[in-house]
């Protein structure tokens, strides 16, 4: 037994080192795409559209004013929504006041003012909205959301 003890310790140490190395390298070997911004960007179509096509496929919701998660802050924001087909845009225009706008207000109500700071904050809220709105649409899909106007202020 005394002769096997150093071998057992060496084998257990080697297995432990391999497990620790595998755990540390797991993110590099298997990247995690759970980030909503990355997921939304991957869903966007790769084809380039002309200016006329963009205008045909884009719908706007303007003058959204609501409180954020911190009741001392309000946001006034406008969005431009680009859809993949004209039928999707038609459907979107029909339901934007009764389905989409309340969805945006609920999402903003759960957002803290610090989460909206900078371009990354706008991208986060846009990607969250893309995922939520695409679940609502039955025809086509929403490919892109742009924040066209943004004011964050205290009460």
- pLDDT at res. 24: 84
- pLDDT at res. 33: 58
The 3-state secondary structure of 25-72, one letter per residue = HHHHHCCCCCCHHHHHHHHCCCCCCCHHHHHHCEEEEEEEEEECCCCC
CA dist 89 and 141 (Å) reads: 9
Residue 76 has φ and ψ, to the nearest 5°, of: -120, 120
Q: What is the mean pLDDT of residues 11-31?
A: 85
Q: Which has the closest alpha carbon to 75: 114, 131, 28?
A: 114
| pLDDT band at residue 148 under the 50/70/90 scheme | very high
**Over the stretch 85-126, which tens digit does the pLDDT of each residue have?**
999 999 999 999 999 999 999 999 999 999 998 889 999 999
**pTM reported for the whole predicted model:** 0.68
- DSSP designation for 137: -
Does the pLDDT of residue 49 top 90, yes or no? no
**Over the stretch 69-85, which tens digit does the pLDDT of each residue have?**
998 999 999 999 999 99
């Amino acid at each position: 037994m005394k002769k096997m003890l150093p071998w057992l310790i060496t084998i257990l140490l080697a297995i432990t080192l391999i497990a620790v190395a595998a755990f540390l390298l797991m993110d590099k070997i298997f990247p995690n795409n759970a980030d909503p911004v990355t997921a939304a960007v991957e869903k966007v179509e790769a084809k380039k559209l002309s200016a006329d096509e963009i205008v045909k496929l884009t719908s706007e919701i303007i003058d959204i004013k609501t409180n954020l998660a911190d009741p001392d802050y309000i946001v006034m924001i406008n969005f431009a929504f680009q859809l993949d087909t004209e039928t999707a845009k038609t459907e979107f225009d029909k339901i934007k006041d009764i389905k989409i706008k309340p969805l945006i207000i609920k999402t903003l109500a759960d957002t803290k003012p610090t989460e909206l700071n900078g371009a990354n904050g706008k991208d986060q809220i846009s990607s969250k909205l893309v995922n939520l709105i695409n679940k609502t649409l039955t025809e086509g899909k929403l490919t892109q959301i742009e924040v066209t106007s943004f004011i964050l202020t205290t009460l």
